[in-house]
Amino acid sequence: MAFLSGRRRRTRLAPELDDQELGRLLKSLRATTRTGTIATTDLCAAQITRLLDHEPGEWDRRTHRMDVLAAFMTDSHLPGAWAAREPRNPDALVLHAWSQVIRARAEGRPDDASAAADLCVKAAGLAPEDPAPWVVLLAVARLQRWAQPQAFGVWNEVLARDRWNREAYLAMLGYLSPEEGGSRIQVLEFVDTLSARMPANAPCASVELTAQVLQYHSVLRRGGFEALVARNHWSHAMAVRALDRVAHTWNQPGFLRHARALADLNLLAYALMAADRRREAAALFETIGGIVTPWPWNTGGDPLTEFDQAQRRATVGL
């Protein structure tokens, strides 16, 4: 296992992806969010505000940063303390709501997200142009299995503010899945409608490939003979089309410019390896540069180990 131990030093899980400013903030927050003092709350809130205000109106980047910060501080006092001290600050309210939703999902307690919905409604009134409150409200709708007219209503509010919002489209993909009360037909219709309209390099460009990976995982979960031949999924016409549509463009320099482009490249590398398209995956691993996303690599075990082993397989014999 010498290869893996050496590779592990070069690969890492980085929720900020290639956002260096966000990475520096996370490092700073890591050292200061544990004290619980008023001064610490003010200092951290000022740092977060400075980062979020750095690119006003860049909704894709701001939403990515808010999501990462909420996940990072799910168990911290800071989001609640900041919202309590600044009840008319929409960023404080959204961060608090998002952290509540993440915690409720992790603990399997959907009712705990009800307070988050109220925070989102208030934040949306304070910042009517910002899609983030609606993105979080859509997460609540998904967690609590709201009726489709309500969920689509929230989704449309996101799109009215940020047409190709990545989180909103992926949330609706999950909401419409058979696992969450939808159906395979609804997923296919949703993906087909989106694919016919969106730009090839839109922030939500990964929806079609995500749907195929999720379907592949559903086959794996069945176990037995079906799991043994799950690789056949990637020879089906829709799966081939989803891979072909992006395999030759996403890795072109500058083609994907959205905040979570590296997450999409991780997804593509995973799918290419599952389809045994190793040569294409090998070039992609070079672009990824060792920044690993937990999903989809964690489906098979430890994501760093799975990524390392896939990267090695991609280059064997090439």
Mean pLDDT along residues 9-30:
92
pLDDT for 317 equals 57
Q: Which residues contact 220 (CB under 8 A, 6 or more apart)?
A: 227, 230, 299
**Are residues 67 and 123 part of one domain?**
yes
Tokens of 289: 């540069």
Q: How far apart are the first and last CA of the chain?
A: 21
**Are residues 229 and 265 part of one domain?**
yes
**Are residues 48 and 7 part of one domain?**
no
Q: What are phi and psi of 12, to 5 degrees?
A: -160, 155
Choosing from 105, 135, 162, the residue where a domain stops is 162
SS3 at position 279: helix
In a domain, 191, yes or no: no
- Asked if pLDDT for residue 228 goes beyond 50, the answer is yes
Choosing from 135, 162, 189, the residue where a domain stops is 162
- Asked if pLDDT for residue 35 goes beyond 80, the answer is no
**Are residues 226 and 158 part of one domain?**
no
- Asked if pLDDT for residue 178 goes beyond 50, the answer is yes
- Asked if pLDDT for residue 188 goes beyond 70, the answer is yes
**Overall size of the chain counted in residues:** 318
Tokens of 229: 């031949």
* CA 139 – CA 132 distance, rounded (Å): 11
pLDDT for 30 equals 86
pLDDT for 27 equals 92
Q: Which residues contact 53 (CB under 8 A, 6 or more apart)?
A: none
Tokens of 295: 């999903």
Percent of the chain with pLDDT over 70: 94
In a domain, 118, yes or no: yes
pLDDT for 222 equals 87
Mean pLDDT along residues 195-205:
95
Mean pLDDT along residues 269-289:
95
In a domain, 174, yes or no: no
pLDDT for 160 equals 98
- Asked if pLDDT for residue 99 goes beyond 90, the answer is yes
The gap from C-alpha 205 to its chain's centroid, in whole angstroms, comes to 12
Mean pLDDT along residues 63-91:
95
In a domain, 11, yes or no: yes
- Asked if pLDDT for residue 8 goes beyond 90, the answer is no
pLDDT for 5 equals 42
* Domains contained in the chain, number: 2
| Average pLDDT over the chain, rounded to an integer | 92
- Asked if pLDDT for residue 6 goes beyond 50, the answer is no
Among candidates 120, 143, 155, 135, which has minimal Cα distance to 67? 135
**Are residues 37 and 12 part of one domain?**
no
- Asked if pLDDT for residue 292 goes beyond 60, the answer is yes
**Are residues 57 and 13 part of one domain?**
no
**Are residues 154 and 57 part of one domain?**
yes
Are 93 and 83 within 8 A, CB to CB? yes
Choosing from 136, 162, 188, the residue where a domain stops is 162
Mean pLDDT along residues 146-155:
97
* CA 247 – CA 256 distance, rounded (Å): 12
Task: Please classify residue 206 by burial: count the beta carbons closer than 10 Å to its beta carbon, then call 0-12 exposed, 13-18 middle and 19+ buried.
Answer: buried
pLDDT for 89 equals 97
- Asked if pLDDT for residue 259 goes beyond 70, the answer is yes
List the CATH number of the domain containing 97. Answer: 1.25.40.10
Structural domain boundaries enclosing 219: 1-19+201-318
In a domain, 183, yes or no: no
Q: What confidence tier does 2 reach under pLDDT thresholds 50, 70, 90?
A: very low
In a domain, 123, yes or no: yes
